[in-house]
Structure 1
Amino acid sequence: MGLARVAIVTLGAIFVLFGTGGIAIGPYRWMTRDNFDAVMEKMDTVNEFNCKEMSSESLRLPANSVGQRPKFNVLPQIVIFPNRTNLIHMHNMALNRAYFYSYILQRLNESQVTDFPMLPGMLYYYMGASADVSSGVGLMNGSGVLFDTHTQYANWYPTILLFNNTLPLFGPKAFLVDDFQDPVNWLREPTNNTIRVDDLGSGPGHNYTASWHPLNSMVVRDVPNQIDFIPDLRTDYRAKHQYDYLIYNATRVGEMERMPNIKRQFFGPPSPGISEPYQPVYFTRPYFDCGRSNKWIVSAVAPVIDFMVRYSIETKLRRPQYVAITVTDLDFLRIDFDPCDRSVDSPDRTYFSGVARCRSTTLCEPLPGHGYQRGGYVCHCRPGYRYPYWQNGPFLGRDIEQASEAEADQFECIPVEWKLQRLTERGITPNSKRRRRRKRSLDETKELVHLMHLYNASAMAELRSKVAEHDRRDRELKRAQKAGSYGLGSLVKGLLSRAARSISTPADMGGQNVHYLGRLATFDADRFKAATQLISFTASVTPENCAAKTPQQLELPGEAGYGADTSFQVQARSALRLAHFLSAFSQNVNPDEVYGPFYSDKHLNRDQLFGEAFANVMSDGWIRSAGIYYDREAFWDPLLKRRIEYFGPTAFKLASDDTGDQKQRQLSFVAEDAAGWPLERAYFERDWFRILKQRWASNTYGLETFVNKPYVRTDLNGTGSKPFQRYPLYYRAPRFADMYWSKPYFDCNRNRDPNSRHVNDWVITVAAPFFGYSEQRSLQFLGVTAVTVRLDKLDINQCPGNFYEANYFKNSAPCHFESSYCVPVIQNKFQLENYKCECRQGFEYPYNDISIWFFAGGTVSSQYERAQRNETNYYRMLKCREGAGSTLLPSRGSILVAMLVGVLVANLSRD
């Protein structure tokens, strides 16, 4: 019986592997096999039990399985859509850690006495990797840093590792693990709060730099994907960019140094211009993470640079060298893919292009948030077509993927007849008059044949039959009108007979009427006026005139920042990640602890915290400033060996990233101790610090508990791995929902002081609290981390919203809501054009336009404003017409009815 079952399974596997493209493996016969099925078959053949016997190629998916990969030199110029949020967060976080480690390794690379002990210790690496994962649950699956052979100068083995000696390999890597079987998990439900950290440079077969190691060809050295940072074989100076930075210290609270205390340079990841080939971050092919997370993941890889050889008196022998790579992982199943068909030469074409099952009369549009599964798309009607009367909005991909063959034929659009010409400033063009129907000419037949490549045969047959039925009804009505009299009764009877249809509406079946207008379909003219005035005001405030305005005038209503938590999620995660790291480090590191040959980390020092602030600013083009702001006497200075009153390392990006010029960004990074800000600008009086302190200083209930399971090497050579002496480690940190978002405000340099750093633009600040233990071992509020983002990247949502939504711009879209509805459009712009008006159910777009099937928000808003100023406009023409209508122009019959009704009313009034 067992052999028979094995034989059946084997034959089934052979049938699947050798199947052709025409074999249908979906639930219905019409669903043919495609690339999505091929990838699923490959993924299903690999699991945690057989992955070690698989070849390297069997553990990897095609290189173009992930599309639209972020590129550092292109990100400032493109619109970022929600379906790329995960990849951009991976990109920025890998670059963030690469900048930090490059900075700190070179900053503390001079003295054995003062610099070497201040380098990050082992727990710094472990807690940093754990914070990357815990702050981005759902966005990141793993994070780590992998050092090249003999490039890690460890300072946590002072008794057995002599100074200026190295570890053979060191690779701390954190990844999420399932905790449903943990003894302390009473509910046996996964929490996504348990993180394991391994040193990949220890244990049997740990040499990840060797060509035979599975991880080498996937992450460490994948030359076809341009991942070849270690070992360092690059000689081009452009591959190692040099960054200048300045640091100003505070002499005391409220007083800043006039001259920079530190003015240095460091080599970091490449900073390419728009046309330069080198990228600081590259993405791997999707691969199976065998033996660790046991998932299909995608990694982002960035290089870490240090001066080698370290602490050498032979300075001529020292050079910047790639010494490590930072790696961030994401579960492949969480990455959205574009299933829509793209041209062969399109840069957006991927391995999954064309797997969507939209019909020929529709256009495909991908949807965010679906991950690797079918149905992540919608099918819009092509220009010149409309939805059937029973369809409310676009066809959903998930409905199409579940449809039978008979049901699939219903996902077609109907051609729009009697289309009008496109609109101009004076309305409809002269050749848009109504034309009499006639028999199709030979030219029309040729045109129909020319469009056959857009439609399959069955769809065209159905559409032509529908068009023929429409023509037949028109001819019958005209014959009836010609045969009968033109009295009022007969005319009304004819019109009513034409309008009658034998159809069932959703209202007939107990559903909502298709033309019902709820409270979410409204336009508020006063709100539109207020929104226009607010946008005009923000444009009028400049760095030159902001000093003449009061602080209240430089603040916008809090409702104006609606949607910032979505638009700026990636930037907010940078602040949250830093808050998680500071919480984990402060709650678990005791400088006096010694574990045999292993010594614990020292207190956090100024150089490390300034480096973290620099990393947040340098890794994200949207962040203009970032900082760490300690509460009163919460920071222990290891140099002064005492607590200081206030400490707030803050980094600024003073130059714009909107240009691809590499030279312009060289001198754009400045940092200062915010404790030296004037008292009227003191950070401990700002709302984002004060409100978070009021919330968390006395009550820490609501913080999330995270579990860290660290594994360390058993000896210097890493022959084995064992749990850390304090296993596991716990720390409590805030969630994304606990972050504070400030009102939009203008960060103004009022005194025009060249030594005072400001963004000088409309910005939003988002902050997260971090916590540590007091001397009584009680959890206490230590401070906040914050990032500041420019407001002009925020998308405005003018569409109708619920009454409880604090959106300043809601109900300000002047769509014609009786025939259309509002849809927000992502443009990364703070302006009143981020919407479109699409036709409602039962209505159609009436104009002869080959490119769009909706009314653009910019056109609608501008024409509405012209109408309000009594200028020439065509605002009233920006509406959809009923699907059964022939034209927006009045027909002769309707004019005759109106005249007769008018005469009848006049006669009755005389009587």
Structure 2
Amino acid sequence: MDKTSQIYLALFVGLGAFLVAQCVTPFEWMRPDRFDQINDKFYTVTGENCRSKREEDLKFRDDTVAQKPRYNMLLSTIIYSNRSSLLHAHNMALNRAFFYSFIYQQMNQTWDFETQPGLMYIYMGHAADVSANPGFINGSSLFFDNNCSYPNWYRKMNFNITLPLFGPRAWREDDYNEPTNWLREPSNNTISIHDYGSGRIRNYTHPQYKGNPWYSPWLPDLFEKDDSVRKFTYSVGIKYSNATGVFTKDMYTDYSFFGPPQPGQSSGQESLPVHISSPYFDCDRSNRWIVTASSPIVEFMPRYSNWTHLRRARFVGVTTMDVEFERLDMNQCPLAEGNPAPNFFAGTARCRPTTMCDPLMGFGFRRGGYQCVCQPGYYYPWWHDGPFQGLEVEQATWEEYQYGFDCLSVGERMLTPDIAPEFVTRKRRSIYTAKNRFMDTLPKTQSVILTPRQKRSVMEALKEHREEMKKLEDAQAEENPKILKKRFVPNKSNKGSASAHSRMKRAAVDEEAANRMQRIMDRKYQTSIKNCGDKKAYELFLPGDVNFGVERQFEAQGRTALRLAHFMSNFLQNVDEYEEFGDLKGDRRLNETQIFAEVIANIMGDFRILGSGVFFDRYKFRMSPPVNNTDPRFVNGITREFFGPYAFRTSTPQAGLDSFNALDFSGFKNFYTDLPWFQNLKSRWATNFYDLKKFTAKPMIRSDYNGTSSIRFEYYPLTYRAATYEDGEWLRPEFKCDGRVNDWVVTYLAPFFGKNDLKTRLEFKGVVTVDVQLDYLDINQCPSNFYVANAFKNTARCDYRSQFCVALEGKRFNRGGYKCECRQGFEYPFNDLAWYFDGQTMEEEHRKLSVGDPNRYHTLRCRIGAAPSLTASLLLVVAMAFLQLV
């Protein structure tokens, strides 16, 4: 290397050292915070060293999971999409608690012992919780307290004997290394099921058991003084049918049972029916950090006794739903009204002082799950379009962070006027006034298409109105000849401008879509239980594109039906009532009480579900006869022609509570198999089962009564084919005027399948349905592509020259569920602590404009952002002087 090269190399190294000394590395300026504390602990504990860790090392703080759903606040709070998985785990734990509480108290007699849920029923039920809810639930379990479970699946075991412990748990297994998985890609379709009451470490009730935060809130239940607070009495009315087209009784038979607590609005955390644990490491089991939602099971204990006066309702076990902590979104934004305390990660977002934090969905436990939007009084600079993303902020250097993520200040901000400004004029009444006046006289249910006679009457009124307006204009022209009549004369100059203006109006707001939206809203709100009987059949439906977004917003409710369809498919494909396994008895057929309990639990566990049913195809439901075989419901034999248990929720305004009823649709004269939704789904799945997914369950059972070890079940693994969530179908909105639901609902259909009588192939067995209340659906009025089937698209009243539309969550089925934010290069002009125009304000001001009332609709738009002012500084003066000298 010559001397010149050495000099250049020295200068380059020196310059690099100087720049390094002046700059800060991207990670050095980011000081450790509360996220780093949890993150270090998250990766410190592994499956190899968890047994040697202390119990406090295997748990996170309780406030690391923020915004936990509270049962008594669900109707009065907005549950955002970043908490949908936690809410679904909450509802599913409550669902299973209601099922087991109802079934064990209803079938509490000695002759019902054999028809209670057997071993495979319980195993398959929890496997369905996992297989039907990928992305929501990773584990499902049932843990009984000491000597509180009565097994009916041991042949040599004496009657009225309890197991020491019984805890079946299903977990989604990573099956990438399975011998049958040739592609070595995880499929999420393999579920392992273990009895945690057996094996090496089986006493999950012991205080030294490190991974049981779901046990102490409920068990052991040894104190009777709190029974009235901790156990609530629920009532369900059931109407059975013992023959096709006939009900056993005309009235509902009331069944009361004890269940989880039912707190009031002012109740505390200790009386909630669902407890959500702090995150803990599931050591020696899944070896994952999980969050568990648990709910108690209530039963009469002792169950079978000659001294019934000694029995009482007691917590005998808990149902749990597990969600991986890594999948739960954390909220790094500061504490605010939408981000209440406690939240351990609050304030860890790195937004600049000129911006504020807005959380995003789907990031889980990692940084950057937010965006920085401009504070009121600031707007985005011209070089950056839209909010600053949290991922960009977290990866920025110190210089980028200091100068690249700030908003510009808005100068000369205006105050919001209290009254309409003078320049806003009334809308001139046009010739359509007479037509509108005539339309108001028509019945609300009548179509806008007029008969020829009606058209003639309207045209006569319009003709009279035109003549009156012409006389008035001629009189004004005679008084003031300077008044010119402005008429549009088409020519080359203004023809193009008029067409361009019309195209711009169509691109901004689709008035035809807005009018259609108004007709849809009118039909919805003008239909009630009082007048639905007078409506025509088509008037009880809304167009299919009204439920745009229902498959995403109501996915949790749809998967509730899918969960029951998965269980039915697994049970009907793998359980044979004639099979015996030595000392272990096989499960019997499904019976009426079990299916009724399943659909009742669906509506009691989720307040959005108004109805749920299981509808078997003709001659596809086979029942096991009772032990004494004297039940009058079996007059037509064991195979039922129809069986369609349907449970529904009805509100009681006087008491302020919901009542729950259920009935068998086979008691009606009209067959449900003839309905279009049943026929369409059956025709789709009658012969073609190619699209069904194959699920694998690997059950491990206890080797003996005491649970000395775990062994494989006789059939290991169990495989079954079932539909996925996408295979189901959402129906268009319908007003159910049947005397039961009496509300607008959207219905999800999930098919289930079983083996034929010869056990040779699959066949369609029936449909599981859930009816979800339409009022909880958020509509989207923002612009969208032409191929998007959304009845409300392009109806937002934003000024699209200066604004863009953003849909909002939690606004439900109402107009104005959006906000109009300023586009790049525009700024929000008002000084009212906001940075966008609310959609409800836009809708209301446009309504005033359309009827001619004073309004400020034309002022609700963004203005062009001003250029930043030049600020003098000493450095700038010196630099300018230096340049002048040079």
TM-score, structure 1 length as denominator?
A: 0.80
Tell whether 2:756 aligns with 1:774.
yes
- Match for 2:784 among 801, 804, 813? 801
Aligned to 1:646: 642
Aligned to 1:158: 155
Q: Which deviations, in whole Å up to 9, do the C-alpha atoms of 1:752-805 show, x marking residues without a partner? A: xxxxx4211111111100111112320111001111011111111000111111
CA contact (8 A) 1:377 1:396 kept: yes
Counterpart of 1:358, as a letter, is C
Gaps of 5+ in 1: 1-23, 222-226, 431-516, 750-756, 887-911
Partner Cα separation in structure 2 for residue 198 and residue 192 of structure 1: 18
Partner Cα separation in structure 2 for residue 27 and residue 633 of structure 1: 69
- Match of 2:539, SS state, is coil
Aligned to 2:113: 116
Aligned to 2:823: 840
Aligned to 1:57: 56
Q: Which deviations, in whole Å up to 9, do the C-alpha atoms of 1:23-82 show, x marking residues without a partner? A: x99952221111111101001111111111111111111111001111111101111210
Aligned to 2:657: 665
- Match of 2:211, SS state, is helix
Aligned to 1:733: 722
Aligned to 2:219: 229
Tell whether 2:700 aligns with 1:711.
yes
Tell whether 2:615 aligns with 1:629.
yes
1:229 Cα deviation (Å)?
3.2
Aligned to 1:504: none
- Match of 2:82, SS state, is helix
1:519 Cα deviation (Å)?
12
Aligned to 1:696: 685
1:537 Cα deviation (Å)?
1.9
- Match of 1:633, SS state, is coil
Distance of aligned partners of 1:575 and 1:719 in 2 relative to their CA distance in 1, 3 Å threshold: same
Partner Cα separation in structure 2 for residue 336 and residue 626 of structure 1: 30
Partner Cα separation in structure 2 for residue 344 and residue 532 of structure 1: 33
Tell whether 2:93 aligns with 1:94.
yes
Partner Cα separation in structure 1 for residue 35 and residue 332 of structure 2: 9
Aligned to 1:209: 205
Distance of aligned partners of 1:34 and 1:652 in 2 relative to their CA distance in 1, 3 Å threshold: same
- Match for 1:274 among 248, 253, 265? 265
**Number of aligned positions between the proteins:** 754
- Match for 1:325 among 318, 328, 331? 318
- Match for 1:588 among 563, 569, 574? 574
Counterpart of 2:406, as a letter, is E
CA contact (8 A) 2:72 2:264 kept: yes
1:520 Cα deviation (Å)?
11
1:262 Cα deviation (Å)?
3.2
Counterpart of 1:416, as a letter, is V
- Match for 1:720 among 709, 719, 730? 709
Gaps of 5+ in 2: 1-22, 425-502, 626-633, 869-886
Distance of aligned partners of 1:595 and 1:800 in 2 relative to their CA distance in 1, 3 Å threshold: same
- Match of 1:350, SS state, is coil
- Match for 1:865 among 822, 847, 851? 847
- Match of 1:675, SS state, is helix
Partner Cα separation in structure 2 for residue 271 and residue 549 of structure 1: 38
CA contact (8 A) 2:26 2:398 kept: no
Partner Cα separation in structure 1 for residue 253 and residue 723 of structure 2: 33
Q: Which deviations, in whole Å up to 9, do the C-alpha atoms of 1:360-414 show, x marking residues without a partner? A: 1111111111111111111110111111111111111111111111111210111
CA contact (8 A) 1:343 1:349 kept: no
CA contact (8 A) 2:119 2:587 kept: yes
- Match for 1:300 among 293, 296, 318? 293
Partner Cα separation in structure 2 for residue 718 and residue 240 of structure 1: 31
Partner Cα separation in structure 2 for residue 344 and residue 793 of structure 1: 22
1:586 Cα deviation (Å)?
0.9
Counterpart of 2:657, as a letter, is R
Partner Cα separation in structure 2 for residue 531 and residue 633 of structure 1: 44
Counterpart of 2:411, as a letter, is E
- Match of 1:228, SS state, is coil
1:711 Cα deviation (Å)?
0.4
1:354 Cα deviation (Å)?
0.8
CA contact (8 A) 1:532 1:832 kept: no
Q: Aligned ranges for residues 601-616 of structure 1 at < 5 Å?
A: 601-616=587-602
Aligned to 2:142: 145
Q: Which deviations, in whole Å up to 9, do the C-alpha atoms of 1:61-109 show, x marking residues without a partner? A: 1111001111111101111210110001100000000000000000010
User: Which sits farther off after the overlay, 29-38 or 711-720?
Assistant: 29-38
Aligned to 2:215: 220
Aligned to 2:412: 418
Counterpart of 2:261, as a letter, is P
Counterpart of 1:674, as a letter, is F
CA contact (8 A) 1:842 1:882 kept: yes
Question: What percent of counterpart residues are identical?
Answer: 43
Aligned to 2:349: 356
Aligned to 1:224: none
Partner Cα separation in structure 2 for residue 173 and residue 521 of structure 1: 55
Partner Cα separation in structure 1 for residue 505 and residue 756 of structure 2: 53
Aligned to 2:666: 675
Aligned to 2:361: 368
Aligned to 2:805: 822
Aligned to 1:128: 125
CA contact (8 A) 2:141 2:321 kept: yes
- Match of 1:146, SS state, is strand
Partner Cα separation in structure 2 for residue 694 and residue 614 of structure 1: 28
Partner Cα separation in structure 1 for residue 29 and residue 811 of structure 2: 40
CA contact (8 A) 1:176 1:293 kept: no
Q: Aligned ranges for residues 497-646 of structure 1 at < 5 Å?
A: 522-639=508-625, 640=634, 642-646=638-642
Partner Cα separation in structure 2 for residue 403 and residue 254 of structure 1: 71
Distance of aligned partners of 1:163 and 1:797 in 2 relative to their CA distance in 1, 3 Å threshold: same
Aligned to 1:387: 380
Partner Cα separation in structure 2 for residue 677 and residue 764 of structure 1: 23
Aligned to 2:106: 107
Q: Which deviations, in whole Å up to 9, do the C-alpha atoms of 1:85-134 show, x marking residues without a partner? A: 00011000000000000000000102x23x00011001111001100000
Partner Cα separation in structure 1 for residue 25 and residue 365 of structure 2: 16
- Match of 2:594, SS state, is helix
Tell whether 2:786 aligns with 1:792.
no
- Match of 1:150, SS state, is coil
Counterpart of 1:414, as a letter, is L
CA contact (8 A) 2:25 2:398 kept: no
TM-score, structure 2 length as denominator?
A: 0.83
Partner Cα separation in structure 2 for residue 427 and residue 364 of structure 1: 35
Partner Cα separation in structure 2 for residue 36 and residue 184 of structure 1: 40
1:349 Cα deviation (Å)?
3.5
Aligned to 1:437: none
Tell whether 2:284 aligns with 1:291.
yes
Q: Which deviations, in whole Å up to 9, do the C-alpha atoms of 1:304-354 show, x marking residues without a partner? A: 000011121211100000000001100101001111011699743411001
Distance of aligned partners of 1:311 and 1:78 in 2 relative to their CA distance in 1, 3 Å threshold: same
Distance of aligned partners of 1:152 and 1:804 in 2 relative to their CA distance in 1, 3 Å threshold: same
- Match for 2:250 among 255, 259, 271? 259
CA contact (8 A) 2:211 2:281 kept: no
Counterpart of 2:856, as a letter, is Y
Q: Which deviations, in whole Å up to 9, do the C-alpha atoms of 1:666-688 show, x marking residues without a partner? A: 7x011000112341xx4223333
Counterpart of 1:387, as a letter, is Y
CA contact (8 A) 1:520 1:800 kept: no
Partner Cα separation in structure 2 for residue 205 and residue 592 of structure 1: 34
Counterpart of 2:294, as a letter, is V
Partner Cα separation in structure 2 for residue 648 and residue 877 of structure 1: 58
Partner Cα separation in structure 1 for residue 79 and residue 678 of structure 2: 30
- Match of 1:769, SS state, is strand
Counterpart of 1:761, as a letter, is D
Q: Which deviations, in whole Å up to 9, do the C-alpha atoms of 1:695-753 show, x marking residues without a partner? A: 1111111111111010000000001111111100001111111111111011013xxxx
- Match of 1:652, SS state, is strand
Counterpart of 1:47, as a letter, is T
- Match of 1:76, SS state, is coil
CA contact (8 A) 2:165 2:197 kept: yes
- Match of 1:37, SS state, is helix
